[in-house]
Amino acid sequence: MAPSRFVVEQGHLLAFGRAIGAPPPGLAGLAALDPPAPVPPTFVAASALHDSEHLRNLRPTGPLAALPDGGSLLHAEQHFEYHAPIRVGDVLEVERTDGRRWEKKSRHGGRLRFREVITDYRFPNGALSVRSRMILVETPPAEGMP
Amino acid sequence: MILPRIGDQRRAVVCPEVTRTQIVQFAGATGDLSPLHVDEPAAMELGYPSVMAHGMLTMAVTGSLLTEWWGDDRLTAFGARFLASVWPGDELTAVAVVTAVREARPGSCVDLQLTTTNQSGVVVLTGTATVRMLEPVGE
């Protein structure tokens, strides 16, 4: 996948904070601090909104796009490594690569296909800020996790 | 900040009630518009009782326990496994327990075990986190 730019905007951060129940005054004051406070630990997961290919033709795209066979694609695990804090006003380069793939038998005897998606968030000078490792599992209908 | 001890813990209700509105808000804020989260007929067609919350929503509210305890710039790692679905109406409680205090240079690192449960005691998320401290081990 070609790298995309992730501009860390206060409005986006407010929307994210509202969705997770964060106290609005704290988030509203983020940009007023000097330097601005770091964003919440999982905020980079919202970077898809800045990908110009995301939701093209109003259909889910990217790692979490629906499976063509009608099965479920579920997010089984998520891991973040933090190297430097991200703040409102930062502009990050986002690069996604495929990681490992493996299979397991499900409790019901079916086949579960796992795959990793690695996403690096870097500052303009190339320094790594956050590395995300998402583990996805493809399951048959009605056999799943969140 | 004083270094914690192994076994120290924090517990908090990190989401008093998951609502469909919240799930839609989170979908809009993150761009994850999977039908499992925003299209109830489609989710039911796949065999689910309703839309479900994003695993990342559960992880995000669990993360709020970490930032309230440790501040917002000390995390070096945060990982989660999503073990059970979270549904509208669920109440989520997160617990973070110190499992190790390790020497790191400079300072030290604190490892945490995370568990988030719903109102029935079902574990919906387990995870780990590591926090960097300026204080060295032994002080």
Can you give the pLDDT at residue B80?
A: 98
User: Which of the four pLDDT bands, split at 50, 70 and 90, describes residue A61?
Assistant: low
List the single residue in B with minimal CA-CA distance to A85: B73
B chain contacts of residue A72, beta-carbon cutoff 8 Å: 36, 46
- Under an 8 A CB cutoff, do A18 and B81 touch? no
User: Which of the four pLDDT bands, split at 50, 70 and 90, describes residue B35?
Assistant: confident
- Under an 8 A CB cutoff, do A78 and B75 touch? no
* In chain B, residues 6-65 whose CB comes closer than 8 Å to chain A: 14-15, 22, 25-26, 28-36, 46-48, 52-61, 63-64
Bond before B4 cis per omega within 30 degrees: no
Residue with tokens 């079902």, as numbered in its chain: B122
Q: What's domain A4-139's architecture?
A: Roll (3.10)
CA–CA dist A92, A47 (Å, integer): 9
- Under an 8 A CB cutoff, do A40 and B83 touch? no
Task: Give pLDDT tens digits for B39-68.
Answer: 999 999 988 999 999 999 999 999 999 999
**A92 touches A123 (CB < 8 A):** yes
A chain contacts of residue B83, beta-carbon cutoff 8 Å: 145
List the single residue in A with minimal CA-CA distance to B72: A38
Task: Give pLDDT tens digits for A26-58.
Answer: 555 555 666 778 899 999 999 988 877 777 666
Can you give the pLDDT at residue A129?
A: 97
Among the ranges given (A65-69, A122-126, B60-64, B76-80), the one the predictor scored with the smallest mean pLDDT: A65-69
ipTM: 0.94
**Listing from the earlier edge strand, what are the strands of the sheet with A128-139?**
A4-7, A91-105, A111-122, A128-139, A72-82, B75-82, B123-133, B108-117, B92-103, B9-15
- Under an 8 A CB cutoff, do A46 and B31 touch? yes
Task: Tell me the mean pLDDT in the region A17-33.
Answer: 68
In chain A, domain spans: 4-139
- Sign for the pseudo-dihedral over CA of B120, A139, B35, A55: positive
Can you give the pLDDT at residue A111?
A: 84
User: Which of the four pLDDT bands, split at 50, 70 and 90, describes residue A25?
Assistant: very low
- Under an 8 A CB cutoff, do A146 and B58 touch? yes
Nearest to A137 by CA among B100, B96, B82, B90: B82
B chain contacts of residue A20, beta-carbon cutoff 8 Å: 26, 57, 60-61, 64
**B50 touches B129 (CB < 8 A):** no
List the single residue in B with minimal CA-CA distance to A82: B76
The DSSP letter of residue B1 is -
Domains and CATH numbers, chain B: 9-133 (3.10.129.10)
